């Protein structure tokens, strides 16, 4: 999905901090940001789903984004849940923080280097180049959905 466009026709992204690192997602995919609350576990749910939270009467599955990205740091506990919508699915993404929503110049977007993409669906679909700072990886929620489906249910210990 392409990011929303600002009035000046520039792509708009939201920034999230996950295990101390910055990531971005298309602002049009972000519905709202909640204070973190521990999800209710669902035995047998897909491996990347921590559980569900009640959002005004709707149960929203919550993904631990740090675990999905392989960036676990015990000291970097989630403080926010970014509620996103992709292809009719509403998910909560547990993150340390949601920092900013802003437009960028389209010239700042670049595909990740081919050697950094070993194949299959990739959680990082683009990079936002910044002067005087490290690039920000842009998350593909489509790829995250595919990864959740591929990992399937958790094994329940007998």
Q: Could you read off the pLDDT of 58-109 as tens digits, one per residue?
A: 999 999 898 888 887 767 789 999 999 998 999 999 999 999 899 999 999 9
Residue 58 domain-assigned? yes
In a domain, 86, yes or no: yes
Per-residue pLDDT, 3: 56
Comparing 9 with 97, which gets the higher pLDDT?
97
Q: Is residue 26 part of a domain?
A: yes
Residues 17-34 pLDDT 10s = 998 899 999 999 999 999
Give the contacts of 11 (CB within 8 A, at least 6 positions apart): 2, 3, 4, 5, 26, 103, 104, 106, 109
Count of domains observed in the chain: 1
Domain CATH code at residue 52 = 2.40.50.180
Is it the case that residue 2 has pLDDT exceeding 50?
A: no
In a domain, 43, yes or no: yes
Residue 88 lies in domain: 4-151
Query: Does any domain span residue 156?
Result: no
Determine contact, residues 41/50, Cβ cutoff 8 Å.
yes
Examine residue 115 and state whether it is found in any structural domain, yes or no. Answer: yes
157 inside domain: no
Residue 156 clears pLDDT 60, i.e. is over it: no
Specify if 19 maps to a domain: yes
């Amino acid at each position: 999905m392409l990011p929303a466009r600002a009035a000046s026709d520039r792509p708009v992204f939201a920034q999230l901090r996950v295990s101390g690192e910055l990531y971005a997602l298309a602002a049009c995919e972000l519905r709202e940001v909640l204070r973190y609350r521990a999800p209710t576990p669902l035995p047998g749910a897909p491996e990347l789903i921590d559980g569900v939270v009640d959002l005004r009467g709707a149960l929203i599955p919550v993904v631990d984004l740090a675990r999905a990205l392989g960036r676990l740091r015990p000291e970097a506990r989630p403080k926010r849940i970014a509620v996103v919508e992709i292809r009719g699915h509403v998910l909560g993404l547990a993150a340390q923080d949601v920092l900013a929503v802003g437009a960028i110049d389209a010239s700042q977007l670049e595909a990740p280097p081919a050697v950094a993409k070993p194949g299959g669906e990739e959680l990082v679909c683009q990079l936002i180049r910044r002067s005087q700072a490290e690039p920000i990886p842009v998350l593909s929620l489509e790829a995250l959905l595919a990864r959740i489906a591929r990992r399937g249910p958790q094994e329940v210990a007998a």
